[in-house]
């Protein structure tokens, strides 16, 4: 099984996730999240598969999030609208996103990676 690993190479959290995959010999296809952000439909799938609210997919500590006043915009936005905004700019997306087509993890927490990706 090969995982799809959406990441930003300069992101420290993404680097930790990559290091974890390499240390556990887990195959992954890495996709630069800024150069090739997931599409709106892919994001809708990730949101659905993850069971997390769509607001969790925003990189709330990012410059673009603050510049575009996303905190206010997403308060009353639909899931569709949020997925559209996320797909329009990879810097708005919390990273990394990892998926095998069924499970999805967002960000990097070793415990979550152990539970989700070591059982595969």
Residue (of 43, 38, 34) closest to 81 by Cα position: 43
Terminal CA-to-CA distance of the chain, rounded, Å?
8
pLDDT per residue rounded down to tens, the chain (120 residues): 689 999 999 999 999 999 999 999 999 999 999 999 999 999 999 999 999 999 999 999 999 999 999 999 999 999 999 999 999 999 999 999 999 999 999 999 999 999 999 976
Domains annotated for the chain, with CATH where assigned, are: 3-117 (3.40.30.10)
């Amino acid at each position: 099984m090969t995982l799809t690993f959406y990441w930003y190479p300069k992101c420290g959290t993404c680097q930790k996730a990559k290091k974890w995959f390499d240390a556990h010999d887990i195959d992954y296809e890495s996709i630069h999240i800024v150069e090739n952000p997931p599409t709106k439909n892919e994001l809708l799938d990730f949101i659905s598969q993850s069971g997390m609210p769509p607001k969790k997919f925003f990189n709330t500590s990012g410059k673009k999030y603050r510049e575009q006043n996303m905190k206010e915009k997403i308060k009353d936005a639909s899931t569709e609208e949020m997925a559209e905004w996320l797909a329009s700019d990879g810097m708005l997306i919390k990273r990394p996103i990892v998926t095998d087509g069924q499970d999805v993890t967002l960000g990097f927490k070793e415990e979550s990676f152990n539970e989700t990706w070591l059982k595969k």
